A and B are shown apart, each in its own frame.
Chain A
Amino acid sequence: MKRKLFEHHLFLQPRKGARQSRTQTRTHEAHRPLDMTAPTKRDGEQVQRNRFTRRTLLLGASGMGLFGLLASKLYNLQNIEGRKYKSLAEDNRITTRFLPPVRGKIYDRNHMLIATNAQNLRVLIIPERAKNVARSLSLLGQVIKISDRQKRRVLKTARRQNPQFPILVADNILWGQFARINVLGERIPGIIGDISWKRRYELGEEFAHILGHLGQPSSFQLTSQPALHLPGALVGVAGVEQGFESALHGMPGRRELEVNARGQSQRVISETPAQSGKDIILTIDHVLQQRILKRLSPYRRAAVVAIEVNSGDIVAMCSTPSFDPNILTPPIDKNEWKNLLKTRDQPLEDKATRGQYPPGSTFKMVTALAGLEAGIITARTRFKCPGYMQWHKQRYNCWKHSGHGSVQLHKALKQSCDVFFYETARKIGIHRLAAMARKLGLGEVYDCGLPGQKPGIVPDPDWKQLEKRRIWFRGETVLAAIGQGYVLATPLQLAVMTARLATGRKILPRIAYEKGKELRTVAPLLGLSKKSLKLIHKGMSGVINEQDGTATGAALGWPGLQMAGKTGTSQVRGNRWKNRHGKQLDWQYRDHALFVAFAPVKNPRYAVSVIVEHGKSGGKVAGPVARDIMKMLLIRDPAHQVSSINSDHSSSIGSALETGTKNQKEL
């Protein structure tokens, strides 16, 4: 067959044959045009057919070759050119929108809602989609009112930031307007209506300093967390809101959107919903907080910290004057903000954690304990107090110019004899004194979710060299012994110190915890001898409960339930300024009144520190405040420790509670 085919190729048909075949074809064509089985000439037909087959195969092969080209191009596109186009694809066509998480709520220890989120209807503009922001704004202006200032602000922001992040145009708009924007917004490029949440504080005044408030994220936060570029994205900037920011904030969700050439979203590709922030539970009792604030109302500037001595939970922490943190939640009303700044006594300042005061005589426990632990003094050690101590030609006065006579530790604490502690400190030296102060929690910032705490000062030669570039003078040790000189402490630190003194354990304060993480381990012992602690407790109890104590007015007055405490009157100005003209000093030069206390003496439950700025006398002013607060605390003690403490005095507890209630009513 093949040979035959070959022959036909080589040997052309004679001319005649060709002619014949043509006529044949013609006839065939003319008469039998549809008879396809009729060949022109069988051999010619066969040649043609074979040639057809060859050419078909040839075309088929070249077709395959072309498909191979396509396949290689496809491979090339996806694997070599692919990288470039892939990034183009992700960049241009998909916009990621962050979904703001709902901030966690904050409850107090009774699970009363303190900080919550209120709905806020907003209008946003995305410059990338709007193309012409000014035009979009003017169009929007036909729907809702936009002031020129708002417009300018939006335009300014639009020039600055990444155009794909929305800018807040207006917020707190009404439902009707919001609905209109949602209907018409489609026609105004770049405009979107949005529901956000605004932080609301239910008991603003009471919790202002504890909770802090929300504010614009810092530039550092912005670079590390792109989701914070969301308009109105806020972070806690003070207090628990800041301290527990990571838990409260939650995880922003992501919505990947397809956008068309105009930047209008076409479809949601994927959506990872935002995870709401975790709820935070404060250790604060809002009832106590309210009552304490009320109790502090007669004083211009005061602060109170109450701690549960065993757990370190801060049950109450007040700083007066206070303010309404709702004012500080953006958008801030400028007038309200100005008023707040103008308010007397700086309500914004949290005196409980940021106010640093010379602890005065409340520091004397530290000196005493340091002496006891160092073995330099014992319960029987006696010093003579002639009203001053003479040391190296320098005279150090006792507060009581007539002197306390022969003084032992108990009396020294009870009557707050300065000379006793001067003498003690002189012997133990500043290093051991400072070490004891630090052991008791002074000079330290506690990691408890309360940012902005001031560390106070526990001075020693190293500190002085570092800070003041001066050498340490002996006299400064003596001054430090009575909590004057360089020593500074915050009310929170004083409360912690008192709690540590009360328990002998390394109590750390706690202000809040994430829901479900409330358990704590028992604080480790500080390694103080029980004997020394007992002596201190006895002395502190004497301050209140003994006739010649410095704060007899602070006695609880409940049979069988006693409070131990220590007064502190820290000088704002040196003695030589006092009573110079025989008249009362200006308010700001008066001494601070301090008081630290814990109760009950036998099995302590709460520690309290009180400072009334320029309150003149720790015993007369701060003491009674501490007493009242301690009563409130003991009455509201959830563990009802009151009854278990003095089970043999159950009848008296009843009356104690009654008195307490009565007292509270009086408050």
Chain B
Amino acid sequence: MRPRTTTSFTHRARSNKAQSTEPAPLSILRKLYRIPWLFLFILSIIAALGIATLHSISGARGAYLADQQLIRYLIAFILLLTCAMVPAKLWMQLSYPLFALSILLVMLVPIIGVMPPGAGAKRWLMIGKVSVQPSEFLKIALVLGLARYFHSVPARKISNPLYLVVPLMMLLLPLIPIFMQPDLGTALLVAMIGAGIVFLAGVNSFYFISAGLVALGALPVLWANLLPYQRERIFTFLNPERDPLGAGYHLMQSKIAICSADLWGKGADNATQSQLNFLPEKHTDFIFAMFTEQHGFIGAMGLMTLYIICFALLSLMAIRTKNLYGRLVISGMALTLFLYVFINMGMVMGLLPVVGVPLPLMSYGGTSILSIMFGLGIAISAFVHRK
């Protein structure tokens, strides 16, 4: 590493503040002090709610799932703290390699991926005995990679089309294998996260408006090229009753679960709908249906509020962070989290088509919780090392 030379500089010299904080690396205590504990506390509450909901699944299965999830959350929490303590610089260094690795994994899925019984698509990779979902990691890695990239782009060049080629490539590269898997939900999610980061990075709004118009125009073309099962999903989304035992089944069941609850819900013991094994995905993607049935409108609103507080805290953290990489990582994670929550809830309620998107921290699933906590760990690290 080259020592700081005079070339760097005039603005440095002008910035007394920067100079004063520069030399001493943060002590562990200082880092711990800077960790946004309120945010972690709310995350833990959400995770606890998820575990409690899993526990309410009848019989030994519920207890098993809850235990597994608890262990995973604890591991993920430690992972988050560890990541938060790691200097943000290191994460910045690791951003591109991580991104490359995740793309590699995603590309491996169509080749050596497995499809667990009951799942609709090939999304898992077996590493030893553990099955992982590379597309979950990809979303985090994409945030890191894009943040890393925009950090290096000069502020005034950010809207330059030439500078947008690279992020576009970074977006499209993983989308190809995801489309091949096929996983429309993840593809859309990845695209939206990418677009969001590009937007937050400060790229001219013109691009987004025009892209939106193009997308609108492309819809018929896209429709023509959709796979039958994808069209089917859209059909059933528009009219779930069309095929209540087939394609619309999940949606119908989850709607039944949600609707059968009133303001305060039925309580864990009386929530009959979600306890039925009519909802094969009730502990993963449709856990919100089960939660709503148990805790009613109030419970669901409470959960949404917790998530909103999370986004708000992340946004504040992002705004307070001085460097672009940190800002983009934090806001990118907030965006990812938001999209997860919104898409999942929307899908469970029948507002959005059924795509395999878990509810962060609530849904059962190791990869989901670990990747989210990992990403949040890096975000917190960026906040801790914000200067």
Residues of A that sit less than 8 Å from B by CB: 12-13, 18, 21-22, 24-25, 27-29, 31-42, 44-45, 47-49, 51-53, 55-57, 59-60, 63-64, 66-67, 69-71, 73-75, 77-78, 81-82, 84-86, 88-90, 92-94, 256, 258-261, 266-267, 269-270
The 8 A CB mask of B266-285 against A (1 = contact, 0 = none) is 00001011011110000000
A521→B89 CA distance, assembly (Å): 99
Shortest Cβ gap from A420 to chain B (Å): 80
Residues of B contacting A: mostly: helix
Q: How far is the CA of A546 from the CA of B61 in the complex (A)?
A: 90
Q: Are A63 and B8 in contact (CB under 8 A)?
A: no
Report which B residues bind A (CB closer than 8 A).
1-2, 4, 7-9, 11-12, 14-15, 18, 21-22, 58-59, 88-90, 92-93, 151-158, 196, 199-202, 252, 255-263, 270, 272-273, 275-278, 292, 296-297, 300-301, 304, 307-308, 311-312, 315, 318-319, 322-327, 331, 335, 338, 342, 345-346, 349-351, 385, 387
The 3 closest A-B pairs by CB, nearest first: A85-B259, A44-B155, A36-B323
B248 to chain A, nearest CB (A): 13
In the complex, what distance in Å separates the CA atom of A55 from the CA atom of B11?
26
Minimum C-beta distance from A128 to chain B (A) = 15
The reply to whether A86 and B272 form a contact with Cβ atoms under 8 Å apart is no
Pick from B92, B270, B308, B331: contact of A67, CB below 8 A: B308
B270 and A269: CB pair below 8 A? yes
Q: A67-B307, A78-B261 are in contact. List 17 more A-B contacts (CB 8 A).
A: A12-B156, A27-B7, A31-B2, A41-B154, A44-B156, A52-B318, A52-B331, A74-B297, A77-B349, A78-B296, A81-B259, A88-B256, A92-B256, A94-B272, A260-B278, A269-B272, A270-B270
Please, which residue of chain A has its CB at the minimum distance from the CB of B330? A56
Q: A60-B312, A81-B259 are in contact. Are A32 and B2 (CB under 8 A)?
A: yes
Q: Which residue of A lies closest to B351 (CB)?
A: A73
* B342 interface neighbour in A40, A47, A66, Cβ under 8 Å: A66
Q: How far is the CA of A60 from the CA of B307 in the complex (A)?
A: 12
Residue of A40, A69, A261 near B155 (CB, 8 A) is A40
User: Which residues of B are found within 8 Å of A55, using beta-carbon distances?
Assistant: 199-200, 202
* Cα–Cα distance between A46 and B155 once the two chains are bound (Å): 9
**B154 and A25 form a contact (CB under 8 A):** yes
| B92 and A89 contact, CB distance less than 8 A | no
- Given A36-B325, A39-B15, are A48 and B158 neighbors across the interface (CB < 8 Å)? yes
CA distance A266 to B62 in the complex (A): 13
Pairs A–B under 8 Å by Cβ, sample size 27: A18-B157, A31-B1, A33-B92, A34-B93, A35-B89, A36-B88, A36-B92, A37-B22, A39-B11, A44-B154, A48-B158, A48-B324, A55-B202, A70-B345, A70-B351, A73-B346, A74-B258, A74-B297, A74-B300, A74-B301, A77-B349, A78-B263, A93-B273, A258-B58, A260-B277, A266-B275, A267-B59
- Most A-side CB within 10 Å, residue of B270, B351, B385: B351
Q: How far, in whole Å, are A258 and B308 apart by their CA atoms in the complex?
A: 35
Q: Which residue of the partner chain, among B152, B297, B319, contacts A78 with CB atoms under 8 Å?
A: B297
B288 to chain A, nearest CB (A): 10
Report A93 CB to chain B, min CB distance, Å: 5
Are A267 and B58 within 8 A (Cβ)?
yes
Q: How far is the CB of A22 from chain B (nearest CB, A)?
A: 6
Q: Do the beta carbons of B258 and A78 come within 8 Å of each other?
A: yes
- Chain A: CB-nearest residue to B153: A25
Rounded to whole angstroms, the CA-CA distance of A154 and B79 in the bound complex is 62
Distance from A636 Cβ to chain B, minimum over Cβ atoms (Å): 58
With most chain A CB atoms within 10 A of its CB, the pick from B14, B21, B272 is B272
Beta-carbon contact of A40 and B202 below 8 Å = no
Q: In the complex, how many angstroms separate the beta carbon of A322 from the nearest chain B beta carbon?
A: 52
Let me know if B255 and A93 touch, CB within 8 A: no
Contact present for A27 and B8 (CB under 8 Å): yes
Q: Cβ of B296: which chain A residues have Cβ within 8 Å of it? A: 78
Q: How far is the CA of A75 from the CA of B157 in the complex (A)?
A: 46
Known contacts A37-B21, A52-B318, A67-B308; A74/B199 CB under 8 A? no
Given contacts A37-B21, A38-B8, contact A89 B273 (CB under 8 A): yes
Contact of A60 among B18, B259, B292, B315 (CB under 8 A): B315
CB of B337, distance to nearest CB on chain A (Å): 10
The answer to whether A89 and B256 touch across the interface, beta carbons within 8 angstroms, is yes
Beta-carbon nearest neighbor of B387 in chain A? A37
Query: Are B308 and A64 touching (Cβ within 8 A)?
Result: yes
Q: Select which of A75, A93, A256 is within 8 A of B256 by beta carbon.
A: A93
Give Cα A27 to B4, complex, Å: 11
Q: How far is the CB of A536 from chain B (nearest CB, A)?
A: 70
Q: Verify B342–A70 contact, CB threshold 8 A.
A: yes
User: How far apart sit A107 and B104, CA to CA, in the bound complex (Å)?
Assistant: 83
CB contacts (< 8 Å) of A47 on chain B: these are: 155
What's the Cα separation between A29 and B260 when bound, in Å?
58
Contact (Cβ within 8 A) A89 B272: yes
The answer to whether B199 touches A59 (Cβ under 8 A) is: yes
Alpha-carbon separation in the docked complex, A36 to B294 (Å)? 47
A92–B260 Cα distance when bound, in Å, is: 12
Query: Which of B263, B308, B351 meets A69, CB within 8 Å?
Result: B351
Residue from B12, B277, B308, B335 within 8 A of A266 (CB atoms): B277
A71 to B326, CA, bound (A): 32
Check A74/B349 contact, CB under 8 A, given A36-B326, A258-B272, A259-B276.
yes
Let me know if A21 and B89 touch, CB within 8 A: no
Smallest CB separation, A55 vs chain B (Å)? 5
* B272 and A37 contact, CB distance less than 8 A: no
A21 proximity list for chain B (CB < 8 A): 154-156
Contact at A77–B327, with CB atoms within 8 Å? no
Asked if A85 and B319 sit within 8 Å, CB to CB, the answer is no
* A33→B94 CA distance, assembly (Å): 12
**In the bound complex, what is the Cα–Cα distance between A42 and B11 (angstroms)?**
6
Choice from B311, B318, B349 contacting A70 with Cβ under 8 Å: B349
Are B92 and A56 neighbours in the complex by a CB distance under 8 Å? no
Return the chain B residue nearest A25 by Cβ: B154
Q: How far, in whole Å, are A39 and B14 apart by their CA atoms in the complex?
A: 11
What are the residues of chain A within 8 A of B258 when measuring CB–CB?
74, 77-78, 85
B308→A260 contact, CB < 8 A: no
Q: Is the CB of B202 within 8 A of A52?
A: yes
Smallest beta-carbon distance A70→chain B, Å: 5
Chain A residue, CB-CB nearest to B9: A24
Nearest Cβ on chain B to A65's Cβ, whole angstroms: 11
Contact partner, B323, options A37, A63, A81, A82, Cβ 8 Å:
A37
Q: B277: nearest residue on chain A (CB-CB)? A: A260
Point out the residues of chain A lying under 8 angstroms from B342, CB to CB.
63, 66-67, 70
The complex places the Cα of A380 from the Cα of B59 at a distance, in Å, of 92
Given A41-B155, A86-B260, A258-B275, A74–B326 Cβ distance below 8 Å?
no
Which B residues lie within 8 Å of A94 (CB)? Answer: 272
Q: Which of A44, A69, A85, A266 has the most CB atoms of chain B within a 10 A radius of its CB?
A: A85
B156–A93 contact, CB under 8 A? Answer: no
Residue of A nearest to B21 (CB): A37
Chain A positions within 8 Å of B304 at CB level: 67, 70-71
Q: A59, B278: Cβ atoms under 8 Å?
A: no
A267 to B277 alpha-carbon distance, docked (Å) = 10
Instruction: Give, as a whole number of angstroms, the nearest-CB distance from B347 to chain A.
Output: 11
Judge whether B259 and A78 touch: CB under 8 Å. Answer: yes
Closest to B245 in A: A261
Q: Point out which of A70, A81, A260, A261 has the most chain B C-beta atoms below 10 A from its C-beta.
A: A70
B200 lies within 8 A of A56 (CB):
yes
Q: Which residue in B7, B200, B263 is a CB contact (below 8 Å) of A52? A: B200
Picked from B18, B276, B349, the residue with its CB within 8 Å of the CB of A260 is B276
With a CB–CB cut-off of 8 A, which chain A residues contact B257? 89
Bound-complex Cα distance A82 to B311 (A): 30
CB distance from B319 to the nearest CB of A (A): 5
CA distance A206 to B7 in the complex (A): 121
Q: Is the CB of B18 within 8 A of A37?
A: yes
Q: Which residues does chain A contribute within 8 Å of B312, judged by CB atoms?
A: 60
A47 CB → nearest B CB, Å: 6
Residue of A nearest to B280 (CB): A261
Alpha-carbon distance between A191 and B315 when the two chains are bound, in angstroms = 59
Q: Give A90 to B195 CA distance when docked, in angstroms.
A: 44
